[in-house]
C-alpha cells in the first residue's frame, strides 16, 4: 500500500463520507439523530418521520439545516 492509499497518513480524507456509503447507514437512526431531526422538523414545519435509517436521517438533517439555517 502506498502512502497515498494509507488512511492513517491522511486521517481527515475520509472524515466526511456520503451516508449512502456508510456500512451502518441502513440501521435505524440513533436517538441523537431522532431528537435533532424532530427539532428541525418542527422548525421547518415538516412532518417528522421516526422510521428513517441512519443514512436517510443524516441526509434529512442536512436538508433541514439548509432550510432552517441551523448548523451553519
Rg value, the chain, Cα? 15
User: For cell 492509499, what's the residue?
Assistant: 5
pTM comes to: 0.71
What is the Cα–Cα distance from 25 to 69, expressed in whole angstroms?
Answer: 25
Residue-wise pLDDT for 16-25, tens only, equals: 788 878 777 6
Model pLDDT, residue 60: 96
Distance from chain centroid for Cα 46: 18
Residue-wise pLDDT for 13-63, tens only, equals: 556 788 878 777 688 999 999 999 999 999 999 999 999 999 999 999 999
Sequence-distant (6+) residues with CB within 8 A of 33 are 52, 54, 57, 58, 61
Q: Is residue 37 within 8 Å of 61, Cβ to Cβ?
A: yes
Amino acid at each position: 500500500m502506498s502512502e497515498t492509499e494509507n488512511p492513517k497518513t491522511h486521517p481527515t480524507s475520509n472524515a466526511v463520507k456520503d451516508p449512502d456509503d456508510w456500512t451502518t447507514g441502513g440501521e435505524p437512526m440513533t436517538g441523537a439523530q431522532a431528537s435533532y431531526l424532530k427539532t428541525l422538523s418542527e422548525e421547518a414545519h415538516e412532518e417528522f418521520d421516526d422510521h428513517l435509517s441512519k443514512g436517510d436521517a443524516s441526509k434529512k438533517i442536512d436538508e433541514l439545516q439548509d432550510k432552517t439555517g441551523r448548523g451553519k
